[in-house]
Amino acid sequence: MQYKSQAVAKPYFIAAIGLFIGQILFGLIMGLQYVVGDFMFPAIPFNAARMVHTNLLIVWLLFGFMGAAYYLVPEESETELFSPKLAITMFWIFLVAGALTIVGYLAVPYATLAKITMNSLFPTMGREFLEQPTITKLGIVVVALAFLFNIGMTVLKGRKTAISLVLLLGLLGLAVFFLFSFYNPDNLVKDKYFWWWVVHLWVEGVWELILGAILAFVLIKITGVDREVVEKWLYVIITMTLITGIIGTGHHYYWIGTPGYWQVWGSIFSALEPIPFFMLTIFAFNMVNKRRREHPNKAATLWALGTGVMAFLGAGVWGFLHTLAPVNYYTHGTQLTAAHGHMAFYGAYVMVVLTIISYAMPVLRGRAANCEKAQVVEMWSFWLMTVSIVFITLFLTGAGILQTWLQRMGDHPMSFMDAQNAIAIFYWMREGSGLVFLIGLATYVTSFFIKGETKAI
Ligand code: HEM
Ligand code: HEM
Ligand SMILES: [Fe+2]
């Protein structure tokens, strides 16, 4: 470790992995509820499990992004973090607030949670991904502000690099767009319109900047390729991201009551969104091929390359599948959406967080890379998790195509529930792949505890 304040990244990474395990357990519970409807009812109803699964995902990715920033910004800025103490305080606040919220989801019915947290004073609850009580949302804003202040001051007092500036811009955007979660108009069209300013402009906008910056940082470290080359790629990628992604929001405005021109604008611009994801893949492979050194951390290299490929497949290819208005007319809100959601979130954001953890954690533990054996186990976990998400995606895609056909096309469309019954076999297979995913995750965690000979830095 070059700067001792980088150590604050460690608890963030550990919390991220802990919450990741929780996320997957709740995914498995829901996956089973899909086929065994009253599994664990009434203790854990589907709607509660769904909030826990998706909210844990977002929260652990945020822990991962913050850990990544605390690790890489001091190194990029060539100075100690502005305030390690503030970083640790915020860690505990975020963890406790997050845990209490999850307990709230599980302990009481959602309506009761809204009442206890006095949602009626300032109503923001009840929308997918933004289910958190208003008080939790305020807590998130406080943590985000303190975090941005800490990172911003560090960048200001040190060397300014393209990587740290792009990262900072992405994190700033993340915080700014989250503010739209406080805007909750009664008009459902307006509500949905601005809801996407959080959800879409995050994953297909500002988060892509964070993704690009983290990947660029790890690639410089493991390949030793010139910073100038990496920076050029980064600039082109983020420019393409913003050009396509901002107006691309229109692919969510087809059927919510917004003007019809969105079907044209949304289709054209979102159809171009795969381009920056494709460039990310080319970028990662190009850098590794041109490498000037053989970094001992093979596992981190694998994660970095995997991120490029899987982000392109999940976001680019599976996004394109249903992004054109004439296609989306039939597929909107089907299992095809869930197929894409899983592979895109995994391929882009889960994998980039696991990439930086894979690179940084050994350094935080005082070695250049983990021992050979630990890396082999980690690479096994890479393949187990990645292949099972591919299968989850394929099974949900099969379910989605059949669902669209049975329920929305043909002369005698089935009801929603009849169509769901007809495709239950796909949900069983999804659950099977989910179990393999859990085994992969357990393998990943195991890799941290394997001891062997390592080179000190
Ligand atoms: C890493 C980037 C991405 C992530 C994490 C992601 C994730 C998601 C998620 C979770 C949903 C479901 C939202 C809901 O609950 O309604 C969704 C919807 C959608 N995504 Fe993406 N996405 C990404 C990139 C893309 C790209 C690049 C495209 C287009 C090429 C795309 C096209 C769509 C479309 C059209 C929908 C709406 C589906 C519907 O009508 O039901 N996504 N995405
Ligand atoms: C890292 C891995 C995973 C990620 C990133 C992830 C992400 C997501 C996201 C973004 C959604 C919301 C989708 C939407 O609204 O379209 C979701 C829902 C869901 N996930 Fe996952 N998930 C993962 C693993 C799993 C696993 C292993 C299972 C179970 C086998 C699972 C089962 C489910 C179920 C059943 C839903 C609810 C779908 C619905 O409402 O119909 N997930 N997940
Ligand atoms: Fe989108």
Closest ligand 2 atom to 31 CA: 35
Residue nearest to atom 2 of ligand 2 (CA): 346
Give 281-287's long-range contacts (Cβ < 8 A, gap of 24+): 281/308, 281/309, 281/311, 281/312, 282/308, 283/215, 283/219, 283/233, 283/237, 283/308, 284/215, 284/219, 284/308, 286/233, 287/219, 287/223, 287/225, 287/229, 287/230, 287/233
CA-CA-CA-CA dihedral for 144, 245, 19, 343, to nearest 10 = 180
pLDDT exceeds 90 at position 410: no
DSSP classification of residue 291: -
Ligand 1 pocket test, candidate residues 323, 342, 351, 401, most atoms within 8 A of CB: 323
pLDDT exceeds 80 at position 457: no
Helices assigned H by DSSP within 78-187: 84-107, 110-116, 134-157, 162-178
Residue nearest to atom 7 of ligand 2 (CA): 342
Predicted confidence (pLDDT) per residue in 70-107, tens digit: 999 999 999 999 999 999 999 999 999 999 999 999 99
pLDDT of residue 257: 97
**Residue 454 Cβ contacting ligand 2 at under 6 Å:** no
Predicted confidence (pLDDT) per residue in 137-163, tens digit: 999 999 999 999 999 999 999 999 999
Region 174-187: mean pLDDT is 97
Burial (0-12, 13-18, 19+ Cβ within 10 Å), 333: exposed
Structure tokens at 235: 């600039």
Closest ligand 2 atom to 345 CA: 5
For the chain, give the mean pLDDT.
97
**Residue 337 Cβ contacting ligand 1 at under 6 Å:** yes
pLDDT exceeds 90 at position 112: yes
pTM over 0.85: yes
Predicted confidence (pLDDT) per residue in 253-264, tens digit: 999 999 999 999
Residue nearest to atom 25 of ligand 2 (CA): 27
Percent of the chain whose pLDDT exceeds 90: 98
Closest ligand 1 atom to 277 CA: 27
pLDDT exceeds 90 at position 454: no
pLDDT of residue 396: 98
Distance 333 CA to ligand 2 centre (A): 14
pLDDT of residue 153: 98
Q: Cα(408)–Cα(400) distance, rounded to whole angstroms?
A: 11
Predicted confidence (pLDDT) per residue in 329-354, tens digit: 999 999 999 999 999 999 999 999 99
**Residue 273 Cβ contacting ligand 2 at under 6 Å:** no
Q: Cα(42)–Cα(31) distance, rounded to whole angstroms?
A: 16
pLDDT band at 1 (very low <50, low <70, confident <90, very high): confident
Predicted confidence (pLDDT) per residue in 300-313, tens digit: 999 999 999 999 99
**Residue 57 Cβ contacting ligand 2 at under 6 Å:** yes
Region 52-78: mean pLDDT is 98
Distance 319 CA to ligand 1 centre (A): 6
Percent of the chain whose pLDDT exceeds 70: 100
pLDDT exceeds 90 at position 453: no
Ligand 2 pocket test, candidate residues 20, 25, 29, 30, most atoms within 8 A of CB: 30
